[in-house]
Amino acid sequence: MHKTTDPRSAKAFLKAMYERALAPALPANAMRDLHWPAVPGRTYILSVGKAATHMVAAIEKRMPEKADGLIVTRKGYVHAGFGPSGLQLVEASHPVPDAIGADAAQLALAAAGTLDEKDLLLVLMSGGASALLPAPVEGLSLTQKQDITRSLLMSGAPIRDMNIVRKHLSAIKGGRLAAAAWPAATHMIAISDIPGDDIALIGSGPTVADDSTCAEALDIVARYGITLPSEVTSDLEHGKLETPKRTDPRMQRSTAEICARPADMCAAAAIVAQELGYEAIMLGDALEGDALELGQQHALKALALRSEGRKVALISGGEATVTVSNRDGRGGRCTAYLLSCALNLQGADDIYGFAADSDGVDGSEDNAGGYLWPGILEDMGGGEHARQMLLDDNSYLAFDKANALLMTGPSGTNVNDLRILLIG
Protein backbone atom coordinates (compact mmCIF):
# COMPACT_ATOMS: atom_id res chain seq x y z
CA MET A 1 0.00 0.00 0.00
CA HIS A 2 2.94 2.33 0.68
CA LYS A 3 4.16 1.99 -2.93
CA THR A 4 2.83 5.25 -4.29
CA THR A 5 4.14 8.26 -6.16
CA ASP A 6 1.85 10.49 -4.11
CA PRO A 7 3.48 11.57 -0.82
CA ARG A 8 0.04 12.40 0.58
CA SER A 9 -0.99 8.75 0.39
CA ALA A 10 2.30 7.64 1.92
CA LYS A 11 1.94 10.10 4.79
CA ALA A 12 -1.62 9.02 5.57
CA PHE A 13 -0.55 5.37 5.59
CA LEU A 14 2.46 6.00 7.83
CA LYS A 15 0.57 8.23 10.26
CA ALA A 16 -2.06 5.52 10.71
CA MET A 17 0.74 3.09 11.63
CA TYR A 18 2.09 5.56 14.18
CA GLU A 19 -1.31 6.09 15.80
CA ARG A 20 -2.05 2.37 16.07
CA ALA A 21 1.36 1.67 17.57
CA LEU A 22 0.83 4.39 20.17
CA ALA A 23 -2.51 3.07 21.45
CA PRO A 24 -1.24 0.68 24.18
CA ALA A 25 0.82 3.47 25.76
CA LEU A 26 -2.08 5.91 26.10
CA PRO A 27 -3.08 6.30 29.78
CA ALA A 28 -6.72 5.41 29.09
CA ASN A 29 -5.50 1.97 28.01
CA ALA A 30 -2.36 1.54 30.08
CA MET A 31 -3.95 2.53 33.41
CA ARG A 32 -7.33 0.86 33.01
CA ASP A 33 -6.69 -1.96 35.52
CA LEU A 34 -4.18 -0.30 37.83
CA HIS A 35 -4.63 -0.02 41.58
CA TRP A 36 -2.76 1.82 44.31
CA PRO A 37 -2.51 1.43 48.11
CA ALA A 38 -5.67 2.18 50.06
CA VAL A 39 -5.11 4.34 53.14
CA PRO A 40 -7.44 5.41 55.96
CA GLY A 41 -6.39 9.03 55.66
CA ARG A 42 -5.87 11.51 52.89
CA THR A 43 -4.67 10.81 49.34
CA TYR A 44 -2.70 13.63 47.75
CA ILE A 45 -2.26 13.25 43.99
CA LEU A 46 0.71 14.79 42.21
CA SER A 47 0.62 14.30 38.44
CA VAL A 48 3.61 15.68 36.55
CA GLY A 49 4.76 15.43 32.95
CA LYS A 50 3.58 15.64 29.37
CA ALA A 51 0.90 13.02 30.05
CA ALA A 52 -0.16 14.54 33.38
CA THR A 53 -3.74 15.47 32.51
CA HIS A 54 -4.38 12.24 30.62
CA MET A 55 -3.10 10.16 33.55
CA VAL A 56 -5.45 11.92 35.95
CA ALA A 57 -8.34 11.53 33.52
CA ALA A 58 -7.64 7.80 33.32
CA ILE A 59 -8.23 7.35 37.06
CA GLU A 60 -10.59 10.26 37.74
CA LYS A 61 -13.66 8.09 38.33
CA ARG A 62 -11.69 5.88 40.77
CA MET A 63 -10.02 8.60 42.83
CA PRO A 64 -10.68 8.49 46.60
CA GLU A 65 -13.28 10.92 47.93
CA LYS A 66 -10.70 12.64 50.12
CA ALA A 67 -8.27 13.15 47.25
CA ASP A 68 -6.82 16.54 46.40
CA GLY A 69 -3.63 17.48 44.65
CA LEU A 70 -1.62 19.21 41.95
CA ILE A 71 -1.16 18.67 38.21
CA VAL A 72 1.88 20.11 36.42
CA THR A 73 2.14 19.76 32.66
CA ARG A 74 3.80 21.44 29.71
CA LYS A 75 2.18 24.60 28.36
CA GLY A 76 -0.38 23.66 25.74
CA TYR A 77 -0.67 20.04 26.91
CA VAL A 78 -3.99 20.28 28.76
CA HIS A 79 -6.40 18.26 26.68
CA ALA A 80 -9.85 19.58 25.75
CA GLY A 81 -12.59 19.16 28.33
CA PHE A 82 -10.20 18.36 31.18
CA GLY A 83 -11.04 19.86 34.57
CA PRO A 84 -11.16 17.54 37.58
CA SER A 85 -12.37 19.03 40.84
CA GLY A 86 -10.04 19.26 43.83
CA LEU A 87 -6.79 19.34 41.84
CA GLN A 88 -4.84 22.50 41.04
CA LEU A 89 -3.62 22.70 37.45
CA VAL A 90 -0.34 24.37 36.46
CA GLU A 91 1.23 24.74 33.00
CA ALA A 92 5.00 25.20 33.08
CA SER A 93 7.90 25.36 30.63
CA HIS A 94 9.73 22.47 28.96
CA PRO A 95 12.51 21.54 28.19
CA VAL A 96 14.03 24.50 30.07
CA PRO A 97 12.38 25.02 33.48
CA ASP A 98 10.73 28.27 34.52
CA ALA A 99 9.53 30.08 37.64
CA ILE A 100 6.01 28.65 37.30
CA GLY A 101 7.38 25.13 37.54
CA ALA A 102 9.66 26.14 40.42
CA ASP A 103 6.67 27.52 42.35
CA ALA A 104 4.77 24.29 41.64
CA ALA A 105 7.68 22.26 43.03
CA GLN A 106 7.52 24.22 46.26
CA LEU A 107 3.76 23.61 46.45
CA ALA A 108 4.37 19.89 46.06
CA LEU A 109 7.07 19.83 48.74
CA ALA A 110 4.87 21.83 51.11
CA ALA A 111 1.90 19.49 50.53
CA ALA A 112 4.11 16.44 51.10
CA GLY A 113 5.18 17.91 54.43
CA THR A 114 1.57 18.03 55.66
CA LEU A 115 0.98 14.29 55.23
CA ASP A 116 1.15 11.79 58.11
CA GLU A 117 1.42 8.02 58.49
CA LYS A 118 -2.23 7.45 57.55
CA ASP A 119 -1.90 9.31 54.25
CA LEU A 120 -0.72 8.52 50.72
CA LEU A 121 1.18 10.61 48.22
CA LEU A 122 0.12 9.19 44.84
CA VAL A 123 2.49 10.36 42.10
CA LEU A 124 1.57 10.02 38.41
CA MET A 125 4.78 10.50 36.49
CA SER A 126 5.52 10.92 32.79
CA GLY A 127 8.32 12.26 30.61
CA GLY A 128 9.09 15.94 30.89
CA ALA A 129 8.66 16.00 34.66
CA SER A 130 12.34 16.70 35.33
CA ALA A 131 12.04 20.10 33.66
CA LEU A 132 8.49 20.84 34.76
CA LEU A 133 9.15 20.51 38.50
CA PRO A 134 12.46 22.26 39.27
CA ALA A 135 13.58 22.87 42.85
CA PRO A 136 17.20 24.06 42.79
CA VAL A 137 19.34 23.11 45.78
CA GLU A 138 20.67 25.79 48.09
CA GLY A 139 23.35 27.80 46.36
CA LEU A 140 21.84 27.31 42.91
CA SER A 141 19.49 29.89 41.41
CA LEU A 142 16.75 29.09 38.93
CA THR A 143 18.63 31.08 36.29
CA GLN A 144 21.73 28.97 36.88
CA LYS A 145 19.61 25.81 36.74
CA GLN A 146 18.21 26.96 33.40
CA ASP A 147 21.71 27.54 32.02
CA ILE A 148 22.85 24.09 33.16
CA THR A 149 19.78 22.52 31.55
CA ARG A 150 20.44 24.27 28.23
CA SER A 151 24.05 23.13 28.29
CA LEU A 152 23.06 19.53 28.98
CA LEU A 153 20.45 19.60 26.22
CA MET A 154 22.98 20.80 23.67
CA SER A 155 25.80 18.51 24.82
CA GLY A 156 24.48 15.27 23.38
CA ALA A 157 24.33 13.69 26.85
CA PRO A 158 21.96 10.71 27.17
CA ILE A 159 18.94 11.08 29.43
CA ARG A 160 20.50 8.87 32.13
CA ASP A 161 23.41 11.29 32.55
CA MET A 162 21.16 14.33 32.43
CA ASN A 163 18.88 12.99 35.14
CA ILE A 164 21.72 11.96 37.46
CA VAL A 165 22.90 15.57 37.40
CA ARG A 166 19.35 16.85 37.86
CA LYS A 167 18.81 14.62 40.90
CA HIS A 168 21.84 15.96 42.73
CA LEU A 169 21.03 19.59 41.95
CA SER A 170 17.42 19.30 43.14
CA ALA A 171 15.57 19.52 46.44
CA ILE A 172 12.71 17.36 45.12
CA LYS A 173 14.21 14.75 42.79
CA GLY A 174 16.13 11.56 43.51
CA GLY A 175 13.80 10.40 46.30
CA ARG A 176 13.70 13.72 48.13
CA LEU A 177 9.93 14.15 47.68
CA ALA A 178 9.29 10.77 49.35
CA ALA A 179 11.61 11.81 52.15
CA ALA A 180 9.60 15.02 52.58
CA ALA A 181 6.34 13.05 52.68
CA TRP A 182 7.55 10.49 55.24
CA PRO A 183 6.03 8.96 57.37
CA ALA A 184 3.25 8.96 54.75
CA ALA A 185 3.32 6.23 52.12
CA THR A 186 4.20 7.15 48.55
CA HIS A 187 3.31 5.27 45.40
CA MET A 188 4.38 6.27 41.90
CA ILE A 189 2.70 5.13 38.68
CA ALA A 190 4.93 5.98 35.75
CA ILE A 191 4.94 6.03 31.98
CA SER A 192 8.51 5.27 30.99
CA ASP A 193 10.41 7.55 28.62
CA ILE A 194 13.73 6.07 29.74
CA PRO A 195 15.64 3.59 27.55
CA GLY A 196 15.83 0.45 29.67
CA ASP A 197 12.93 1.57 31.91
CA ASP A 198 14.96 2.46 35.01
CA ILE A 199 12.10 3.71 37.17
CA ALA A 200 14.49 5.79 39.29
CA LEU A 201 15.26 7.92 36.22
CA ILE A 202 11.68 8.62 35.12
CA GLY A 203 11.06 12.26 36.00
CA SER A 204 14.37 11.99 37.90
CA GLY A 205 12.62 9.75 40.45
CA PRO A 206 11.27 12.16 43.09
CA THR A 207 9.87 9.29 45.19
CA VAL A 208 12.36 6.53 44.28
CA ALA A 209 15.56 5.74 46.19
CA ASP A 210 18.60 6.79 44.17
CA ASP A 211 21.64 4.60 43.54
CA SER A 212 23.64 7.30 41.77
CA THR A 213 26.14 9.47 43.62
CA CYS A 214 27.54 12.98 43.85
CA ALA A 215 30.77 11.63 42.37
CA GLU A 216 28.89 10.41 39.28
CA ALA A 217 27.23 13.80 38.87
CA LEU A 218 30.62 15.51 39.04
CA ASP A 219 32.05 13.11 36.47
CA ILE A 220 29.17 13.81 34.08
CA VAL A 221 29.41 17.60 34.25
CA ALA A 222 33.18 17.35 33.70
CA ARG A 223 32.72 14.99 30.74
CA TYR A 224 30.36 17.37 28.95
CA GLY A 225 32.06 20.60 29.97
CA ILE A 226 29.16 21.85 32.12
CA THR A 227 30.00 24.74 34.45
CA LEU A 228 28.55 24.71 37.96
CA PRO A 229 28.70 27.43 40.63
CA SER A 230 31.73 26.91 42.89
CA GLU A 231 29.56 26.44 45.99
CA VAL A 232 27.56 23.67 44.30
CA THR A 233 30.71 21.98 43.03
CA SER A 234 32.14 22.03 46.56
CA ASP A 235 28.92 20.56 48.00
CA LEU A 236 29.04 17.75 45.44
CA GLU A 237 32.70 17.07 46.19
CA HIS A 238 31.95 16.79 49.91
CA GLY A 239 28.82 14.68 49.39
CA LYS A 240 26.50 17.31 50.87
CA LEU A 241 24.05 16.92 47.97
CA GLU A 242 23.75 13.14 48.23
CA THR A 243 20.30 11.70 47.51
CA PRO A 244 18.31 9.28 49.72
CA LYS A 245 19.43 5.67 49.24
CA ARG A 246 17.57 2.36 49.53
CA THR A 247 18.57 1.96 53.18
CA ASP A 248 17.23 5.39 54.18
CA PRO A 249 14.36 4.86 56.69
CA ARG A 250 12.34 7.54 54.90
CA MET A 251 12.28 5.42 51.72
CA GLN A 252 10.82 2.30 53.30
CA ARG A 253 7.19 3.22 52.54
CA SER A 254 7.85 4.17 48.92
CA THR A 255 6.64 1.93 46.08
CA ALA A 256 6.54 2.42 42.33
CA GLU A 257 5.40 0.73 39.12
CA ILE A 258 5.50 1.34 35.37
CA CYS A 259 2.24 1.20 33.42
CA ALA A 260 3.53 1.85 29.87
CA ARG A 261 6.91 1.27 28.25
CA PRO A 262 8.60 1.93 24.90
CA ALA A 263 8.51 -1.84 24.37
CA ASP A 264 4.69 -1.74 24.39
CA MET A 265 4.65 0.75 21.52
CA CYS A 266 7.28 -1.14 19.52
CA ALA A 267 5.48 -4.46 19.99
CA ALA A 268 2.24 -2.88 18.76
CA ALA A 269 4.09 -1.46 15.75
CA ALA A 270 5.36 -4.95 14.91
CA ILE A 271 1.84 -6.34 15.01
CA VAL A 272 0.59 -3.58 12.71
CA ALA A 273 3.44 -4.20 10.26
CA GLN A 274 2.77 -7.94 10.19
CA GLU A 275 -0.93 -7.35 9.56
CA LEU A 276 0.10 -5.29 6.54
CA GLY A 277 2.21 -8.12 5.18
CA TYR A 278 5.67 -7.07 6.37
CA GLU A 279 8.28 -9.14 8.12
CA ALA A 280 8.88 -7.21 11.35
CA ILE A 281 12.52 -6.81 12.40
CA MET A 282 12.93 -5.24 15.83
CA LEU A 283 16.19 -3.33 16.13
CA GLY A 284 15.57 -2.58 19.81
CA ASP A 285 13.18 -0.54 21.94
CA ALA A 286 15.91 1.28 23.89
CA LEU A 287 18.36 2.53 21.25
CA GLU A 288 20.53 5.48 22.22
CA GLY A 289 23.50 7.23 20.66
CA ASP A 290 24.03 9.89 18.03
CA ALA A 291 20.94 10.40 15.87
CA LEU A 292 22.95 10.93 12.68
CA GLU A 293 24.95 7.75 13.16
CA LEU A 294 21.77 5.83 13.93
CA GLY A 295 20.14 7.14 10.75
CA GLN A 296 23.12 6.04 8.68
CA GLN A 297 23.16 2.57 10.26
CA HIS A 298 19.46 2.01 9.65
CA ALA A 299 19.66 3.27 6.07
CA LEU A 300 22.47 0.85 5.25
CA LYS A 301 20.52 -2.02 6.80
CA ALA A 302 17.44 -1.03 4.79
CA LEU A 303 19.47 -0.99 1.56
CA ALA A 304 20.89 -4.44 2.32
CA LEU A 305 17.41 -5.87 2.92
CA ARG A 306 16.14 -4.21 -0.25
CA SER A 307 18.90 -5.90 -2.25
CA GLU A 308 17.65 -9.25 -0.94
CA GLY A 309 14.15 -8.52 -2.21
CA ARG A 310 12.56 -8.81 1.21
CA LYS A 311 9.41 -7.02 2.38
CA VAL A 312 10.47 -5.83 5.80
CA ALA A 313 9.56 -3.30 8.48
CA LEU A 314 12.57 -2.11 10.49
CA ILE A 315 11.25 -0.98 13.87
CA SER A 316 13.09 0.74 16.70
CA GLY A 317 12.45 2.77 19.81
CA GLY A 318 14.60 4.62 22.32
CA GLU A 319 16.01 8.11 22.52
CA ALA A 320 18.86 9.22 20.29
CA THR A 321 20.82 12.38 20.98
CA VAL A 322 21.93 15.38 18.93
CA THR A 323 25.00 17.45 19.68
CA VAL A 324 23.96 20.97 18.74
CA SER A 325 26.47 23.40 17.24
CA ASN A 326 24.02 26.00 15.92
CA ARG A 327 22.08 27.55 18.79
CA ASP A 328 19.65 29.08 16.29
CA GLY A 329 19.03 25.81 14.46
CA ARG A 330 15.62 24.19 14.30
CA GLY A 331 15.21 20.47 14.59
CA GLY A 332 14.89 17.55 16.98
CA ARG A 333 16.40 14.10 17.23
CA CYS A 334 13.68 12.47 15.09
CA THR A 335 14.07 14.78 12.10
CA ALA A 336 17.86 14.68 12.46
CA TYR A 337 17.79 10.87 12.41
CA LEU A 338 15.42 10.77 9.45
CA LEU A 339 17.35 13.33 7.40
CA SER A 340 20.56 11.37 7.96
CA CYS A 341 18.68 8.26 6.89
CA ALA A 342 17.37 9.95 3.72
CA LEU A 343 20.82 11.21 2.75
CA ASN A 344 22.25 7.71 3.04
CA LEU A 345 19.35 6.13 1.14
CA GLN A 346 19.88 8.62 -1.73
CA GLY A 347 16.35 8.25 -3.06
CA ALA A 348 16.30 4.43 -3.18
CA ASP A 349 12.99 3.08 -4.48
CA ASP A 350 10.56 1.18 -2.28
CA ILE A 351 11.77 2.57 1.08
CA TYR A 352 9.34 4.67 3.09
CA GLY A 353 9.14 5.47 6.77
CA PHE A 354 8.86 7.90 9.64
CA ALA A 355 10.47 8.84 12.93
CA ALA A 356 8.39 10.48 15.64
CA ASP A 357 8.45 11.28 19.33
CA SER A 358 5.55 9.54 21.04
CA ASP A 359 4.63 12.65 23.02
CA GLY A 360 3.86 14.56 19.82
CA VAL A 361 6.77 17.02 19.98
CA ASP A 362 10.23 16.44 18.53
CA GLY A 363 12.50 18.55 20.73
CA SER A 364 11.04 22.03 21.14
CA GLU A 365 9.23 22.34 17.80
CA ASP A 366 5.57 21.77 16.90
CA ASN A 367 6.04 18.47 15.04
CA ALA A 368 6.18 14.92 16.33
CA GLY A 369 8.73 14.00 13.68
CA GLY A 370 8.85 13.53 9.93
CA TYR A 371 8.09 11.26 6.98
CA LEU A 372 10.39 9.63 4.45
CA TRP A 373 9.73 8.64 0.83
CA PRO A 374 12.04 8.03 -2.16
CA GLY A 375 11.81 11.53 -3.67
CA ILE A 376 12.06 13.51 -0.45
CA LEU A 377 15.56 14.91 -1.06
CA GLU A 378 14.38 16.55 -4.29
CA ASP A 379 11.41 17.96 -2.39
CA MET A 380 13.87 19.48 0.08
CA GLY A 381 15.73 21.29 -2.69
CA GLY A 382 18.26 18.58 -3.54
CA GLY A 383 20.70 16.39 -1.68
CA GLU A 384 23.39 19.02 -1.16
CA HIS A 385 20.93 21.52 0.23
CA ALA A 386 19.49 18.86 2.54
CA ARG A 387 22.97 17.90 3.74
CA GLN A 388 23.77 21.50 4.58
CA MET A 389 20.50 21.82 6.47
CA LEU A 390 21.52 18.82 8.57
CA LEU A 391 24.98 20.25 9.25
CA ASP A 392 23.34 23.51 10.33
CA ASP A 393 21.02 21.70 12.79
CA ASN A 394 18.04 22.71 10.65
CA SER A 395 16.45 19.32 9.99
CA TYR A 396 13.03 20.75 10.90
CA LEU A 397 13.31 23.31 8.11
CA ALA A 398 14.33 20.62 5.61
CA PHE A 399 11.22 18.55 6.32
CA ASP A 400 9.05 21.65 6.43
CA LYS A 401 10.22 22.59 2.91
CA ALA A 402 9.26 19.10 1.69
CA ASN A 403 5.89 19.26 3.48
CA ALA A 404 7.06 16.15 5.33
CA LEU A 405 6.58 17.08 8.99
CA LEU A 406 4.55 14.58 11.00
CA MET A 407 2.13 16.76 12.98
CA THR A 408 -0.03 15.30 15.75
CA GLY A 409 -0.17 17.72 18.65
CA PRO A 410 0.31 16.40 22.20
CA SER A 411 -0.49 12.69 22.22
CA GLY A 412 -1.22 12.15 25.91
CA THR A 413 1.70 9.80 26.52
CA ASN A 414 5.50 9.71 26.29
CA VAL A 415 7.37 6.45 25.65
CA ASN A 416 10.32 7.75 23.63
CA ASP A 417 10.60 7.73 19.86
CA LEU A 418 9.26 5.32 17.27
CA ARG A 419 11.14 4.77 14.01
CA ILE A 420 9.85 2.60 11.19
CA LEU A 421 11.41 1.97 7.78
CA LEU A 422 9.30 -0.02 5.28
CA ILE A 423 11.28 -1.86 2.61
CA GLY A 424 9.90 -3.67 -0.41
User: pLDDT per residue over 6-29, tens digit each?
Assistant: 788 899 999 999 999 999 999 999
Same domain, 254 and 268: no
Cβ-based neighbours of 116, under 8 Å, separated by 6 or more: 41, 183, 184
In a domain, 89, yes or no: yes
Average pLDDT of the segment spanning 203-221 = 98
Contact residues for 314 (Cβ-Cβ < 8 A; gap 6+): 281, 283, 298, 301, 302, 305, 353, 419, 420, 421, 423
Instruction: Looking at the structure, tell me whether residues 234 and 309 fall in a common domain.
Output: no
Dihedral sign of CA atoms 379, 317, 298, 315 in order:
negative
pLDDT higher than threshold 60 for residue 232: yes
- pLDDT on residue 207: 98
pTM of the model: 0.93
- Burial classification of residue 348, based on how many CB atoms lie within 10 Å of its CB (0-12 exposed, 13-18 middle, 19 or more buried): middle
Show the domain range for 125: 32-260
Residue 2 is assigned to a structural domain of this protein:
no
Three-state SS at 13: helix
Summarised one tens digit per residue, pLDDT across range 301-334 is: 999 999 999 999 999 999 999 999 998 999 999 9
pLDDT tens per residue, range 41-74: 999 999 999 999 999 999 999 998 878 999 999 9
Mean pLDDT of the chain: 95
Q: For 224, which DSSP code?
A: T
In a domain, 45, yes or no: yes
b/e string for 43-53 if b means 16 or more Cβ within 10 A? bbbbbbbbbbb
The CATH number that applies at residue 238 is 3.40.50.10180
CA distance 418 to 275: 18
* CATH assignment of the domain containing 325: 3.40.1480.10
pLDDT at residue 1 above 50?
A: no
d(CA 404, CA 407): 9
- Per-residue pLDDT band at 83 (split at 50, 70, 90): confident
Q: Is residue 119 part of a domain?
A: yes
Predicted confidence at residue 3, as pLDDT, reads 57
pLDDT score for 5: 63
Overall domain count for the chain: 2
Which of 61-70, 92-101, 240-249, 367-376 is predicted least confidently? 61-70
Please indicate, yes or no, if residue 1 is contained in any of the structural domains. Answer: no
pLDDT digits (tens, 9 = 90+) for 387-397: 999 999 999 99
